[in-house]
């Protein structure tokens, strides 16, 4: 039996508090033996309260109810009442925090009062079509809330020309992204043709790829809606599922027809339900959850189906982590990914747009093609040998694997929360001299926010290389030999671009911790 080091015992004590629980985590070690180890290493008994006064006060001022506040901590209302009495919080707050204000302006959602046997996708389709009932396998004509034109421009322009497109219907719902990268022959004609196309068809909603990742830009411009339908030629359009919207990838020919008619004819695909239970541990992030799930569920099971993710563990994820999780799933051959519209989504829309959205989630008794349930309470940081390898292992099993280049951000990743995590780890350390850590913020607004908060200064002082958020040519920097550790998809075809080099997928915390030692490192040692 390997005796844990003092640092490991301190970490376990801060997390689990009792010798009995620590022994269980260490593989069933008796509590008296854990106590003996602590005594030998001069570690006193844990005297800190489980919940601080700041935590209890914040929850009490937020909810004003023992039952609702206790649900956030996973304890009983009576237990929360005792904690409240201990800290002298005896009276109800006179005012609640506005960020938690719950308004039910919509009443009951259409399609949710039938028999309690509807998937989230069926409910969303019924809500969009204003019908009481929608079933899987039925075909319907939808009016998309968002049409994203950001990829395969050459094919799209050819298909529009072959169709004889004269006028784009509902142009106010179309967003065009002007590409930065030149065409294969080195000319900029493609970008000029895109500008001419957008101007000719009076598409005024224009984004520039040099400003950052398109979905992040749309979120910043409040162009993404909950319970909507988004279509595009890029698989990343399915990432709108983090808001409870359905994102569907179409061929350029289908997209051209949709531009002309303003409507899309689609069949409701089957859904796969993934229920995530337990509490997500510190040091575990969306990339770790995605890697773990792809190891447990093989791609053929998900092909051609919509993934619906729900559960207690999802409730604890921030909006940024939900967006990361949804975008990572777009690498799979699926028909979309959907997360429920819960209080986290409602609060986001209340704070940004000052409007409420109805709650919506799938029914427990709904008919799903497949159903999976996983407990994430003991999930550790993961490493995925992406994109085509099925090898996914915990970080602790692959420690000391040397890394030459690390990409933090890039593509669909690199939001402010991820930069904050890396900053927290690197604040008192420096990047290993033999490692290049490239930091690519997901948008220019994120870049400026990180600059204002001092994150970029900390990262630069630690030895990071800062890249422009919209400059797609940053990939040319990845030229030296050795494996690449990245926090997200580098590009749509990075499997071909970086062959025969290994491309490893990890969380921002794992990437930052690995940059310090120059090898795969468990981020929990630094958090």
pLDDT the model gives residue 381:
93
Residues in the chain where the model's pLDDT stays below 70? 1, 46-50, 74, 94-116, 181-189, 386-390, 411, 470-477, 479-480, 490-500
pLDDT the model gives residue 184:
43
pLDDT the model gives residue 264:
93
pLDDT the model gives residue 53:
82
Rounded CA gap, 278 and 74, in Å?
10
Q: Per-residue pLDDT tens for 474-484?
A: 666 676 677 88
pLDDT the model gives residue 94:
67
What 8-state DSSP symbol labels residue 139? E
Place of tokens 């409910």: 123
What is the rounded average pLDDT for all residues in the chain? 85
Identify any residues that bridge with 386 across adjacent strands, giving them in sequence order: 503
Q: For residues 489 and 213, is the Cβ–Cβ distance under 8 A? A: no
Rounded CA gap, 195 and 188, in Å?
11
Q: How many Cβ atoms sit within 10 Å of the Cβ of residue 245?
A: 26
pLDDT the model gives residue 509:
94
Of residues 281, 152, 307, 342, the one with CA closest to residue 289: 281
pLDDT the model gives residue 105:
45
pLDDT the model gives residue 126:
92
Q: Per-residue pLDDT tens for 360-388?
A: 999 988 999 999 999 998 899 999 886 55
For residues 61-95, one letter each, b for 16 or more C-beta atoms within 10 angstroms of the residue's C-beta and e for the rest, the string is bbbbebebbbbebebeeeebeebbeebebeeeeee
C-alpha 128: how far from chain center: 25
The CATH topology of domain 382-525 is Aconitase; domain 3 (3.30.499)
Tell me phi and psi for residue 436, to 5 degrees: -105, 115
382-525 shares the fold of 117-378? yes
Task: Give the start-to-end residue ranges of the domains of the chain.
Answer: 6-40, 53-97, 117-378, 382-525
Query: Any idea what the Cα angle at residue 100 is, between residues 95 and 106, rounded to 5°?
Result: 115
pLDDT the model gives residue 240:
95
Helix (H) or strand (E) holding 293: helix 286-296
Tell me phi and psi for residue 311, to 5 degrees: 120, 170
> 117-378: which CATH number, 2.40.160.150, 3.30.499.10, 2.60.40.1260, 1.10.540.10?
3.30.499.10
Q: Is 400 exposed, middle or buried (0-12, 13-18, 19+ CB in 10 A)?
A: exposed
pLDDT the model gives residue 183:
45
Identify any residues that bridge with 246 across adjacent strands, giving them in sequence order: 229
């Amino acid at each position: 039996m390997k005796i844990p080091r003092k640092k490991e015992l301190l970490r376990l004590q801060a997390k689990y508090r009792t010798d009995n629980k620590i022994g269980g985590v260490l593989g069933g070690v008796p509590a008296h033996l854990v106590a003996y180890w602590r005594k030998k290493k001069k570690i006193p008994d844990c005297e800190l309260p489980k919940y601080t006064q700041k935590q209890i006060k914040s929850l009490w001022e937020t909810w004003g109810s023992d039952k609702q506040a206790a649900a956030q901590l996973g304890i009983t209302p009576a237990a929360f009442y005792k904690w409240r009495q201990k800290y002298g919080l005896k009276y109800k707050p006179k005012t609640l925090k506005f960020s938690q204000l719950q308004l039910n302006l919509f009443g009951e959602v259409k399609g949710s009062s039938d028999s309690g046997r509807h998937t989230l996708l069926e409910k969303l389709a019924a809500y969009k079509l204003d019908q009481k009932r929608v079933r899987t396998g039925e075909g319907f004509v939808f009016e998309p809330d968002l049409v994203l034109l950001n990829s395969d421009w050459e094919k799209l322009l050819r298909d529009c020309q072959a169709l004889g497109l004269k006028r784009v219907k509902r142009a106010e719902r179309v967003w065009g992204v002007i590409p930065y990268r030149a065409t294969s022959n080195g000319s900029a004609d493609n970008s000029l043709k895109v500008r001419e196309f957008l101007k000719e068809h009076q598409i005024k909603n224009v984004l520039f790829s040099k400003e950052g990742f398109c979905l992040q830009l749309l979120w910043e411009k409040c162009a993404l809606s909950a319970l909507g339908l988004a279509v595009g030629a890029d698989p990343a359009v399915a990432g709108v599922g983090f808001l409870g919207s359905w994102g569907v990838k179409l061929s350029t020919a289908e997209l051209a027809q949709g531009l002309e008619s303003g409507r899309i004819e689609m069949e409701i695909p089957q859904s796969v339900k993934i229920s995530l239970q337990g509490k997500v541990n510190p040091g575990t992030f969306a990339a770790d959850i995605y890697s773990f799930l792809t190891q447990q569920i093989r791609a053929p099971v998900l092909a051609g189906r919509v993934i619906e993710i729900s559960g207690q563990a999802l409730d604890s994820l921030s909006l940024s982590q939900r967006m990361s999780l949804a975008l990572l799933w777009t690498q799979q051959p699926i028909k979309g990914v959907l997360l429920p519209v819960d209080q986290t989504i409602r609060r986001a829309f209340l704070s940004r747009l000052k409007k409420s959205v109805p709650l919506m989630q799938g029914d427990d008794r709904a008919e799903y093609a497949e159903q999976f349930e996983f407990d994430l309470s003991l999930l550790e940081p993961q490493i995925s040998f992406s994109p085509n390898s099925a090898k996914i292992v915990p970080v602790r099993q692959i420690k000391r694997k040397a890394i030459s280049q690390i990409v933090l951000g890039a593509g669909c990743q690199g939001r402010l929360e991820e930069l904050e995590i890396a900053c927290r780890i690197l604040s008192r350390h420096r990047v290993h001299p033999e490692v290049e850590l490239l930091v690519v913020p997901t948008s220019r607004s994120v870049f400026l926010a990180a600059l204002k908060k001092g994150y970029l200064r900390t990262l630069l002082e630690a030895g990071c290389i800062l890249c422009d958020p919209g400059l797609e040519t940053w990939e040319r920097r990845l030229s030296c030999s050795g494996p690449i550790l990245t926090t997200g998809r580098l590009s749509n075809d990075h499997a071909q671009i970086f062959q025969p080099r290994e491309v490893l997928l990890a969380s921002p915390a794992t990437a930052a911790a690995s940059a310090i030692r120059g090898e795969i490192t468990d981020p929990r040692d630094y958090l």
